[in-house]
Amino acid sequence: MKQYLDLLQHILDNGVKKEDRTGTGTTSVFGYQMRFDLSEGFPLVTTKKTHLKAIISELLWFIEGSTDERRLAEINFGDVAANLVGKKTVWTANADAQGKALGYTNTDTVKELGPVYGAQWRSWIGHDGKAIDQLSDLINQIKTNPDSRRLILSAWNVGEIEKMALPPCHTFFQFYVANGKLSCQLYQRSADVFLGVPFNIASYALLTMMMAQVCDLELGDFVHTFGDAHIYSNHIDQVNLQLTRKPFHKPTMKINPSVKDINDFKMEDFELENYECHEGIKAVMAV
């Protein structure tokens, strides 16, 4: 994962100071790209421990089309909502902020985030009021017209951004088929490079692997393109620590080969092998 460390160093060396909506402040660059050959291993950061279960559960939550943070907790913890009070996910802070903005006082029970990723992936509301399942349409296009230049899924629904707890940071992605291999390019408008980007890399690499299996294709590249890539001012010490560490070899992700429908994947269908990593580095997420 030298590519990720290079991005951290690039921001430290070339970034400019910018204010942001959270009031934390960032060091930021505009425009950057990384590429990962998925046939060479699973691109999970090794210079700090990464919570893979949270990554997989969030991706399954997107694919399911859910926008309820309690449902994400159910997938992540393997429990029913009644037993999840007080348990946190990567979306808890945004869910609580959304609940308070809507006037609710008990944010343990009100966890609806508005039409965020899952809604846009599986039920984008068109001009005629009909829901469009972008993900199913995308899979059908890859299978029937692999040379298309329109293999795109967008989460940036301008008409619904104001209803979302958080406008999409990873805004749209495009697939590309060549020589029997499936590649994916993600455009991320805003990237918390220390905390969020390791999750984003692993999530979209895994999505590409799942899509390749469903579409009976081999693995190509995952290309990660950024707009505003930033390090928050309260993450600088953590970044400098991480840059002193030497990466380990990439692990291997095993996926249950019997799953052929994107809707059928479960937590138990994924197994990470040979993941060697440095210890975790704690940091506070800006909300």
Please tell me what DSSP assigns to residue 112. B
**Which pLDDT does position 105 carry in this prediction?**
57
- Residue pair 65/88 in contact by the 8 Å Cβ criterion: no
Select which of 169, 184, 215, 277 is catalytic.
Answer: 169
Average pLDDT of the residues in 232-247: 96
What does the pLDDT look like over 136-159, one tens digit per residue?
A: 999 999 999 999 999 999 999 999
Active site residue 169: yes
> How many whole angstroms separate alpha carbon 41 and alpha carbon 3?
14
Radius of gyration of the chain (CA): 19
**Residue 36 to residues 152, 184, 197, 216, Cα–Cα distance (Å):** 19, 10, 14, 20
3-state SS class at 246: coil
Kindly report which listed range (45-54, 68-77, 167-176, 241-250) carries the lowest average pLDDT score.
68-77
What confidence tier does 107 reach under pLDDT thresholds 50, 70, 90?
low
**Which pLDDT does position 102 carry in this prediction?**
60
What does the pLDDT look like over 11-70, one tens digit per residue?
A: 999 999 999 988 899 999 999 999 999 999 999 999 999 999 999 999 999 999 999 888
| Residues paired with residue 226 on neighbouring β-strands, in sequence order | 32, 188
**Which pLDDT does position 100 carry in this prediction?**
66
What confidence tier does 101 reach under pLDDT thresholds 50, 70, 90?
low
AA letter at 102: L
Structure tokens at 44: 């999970």
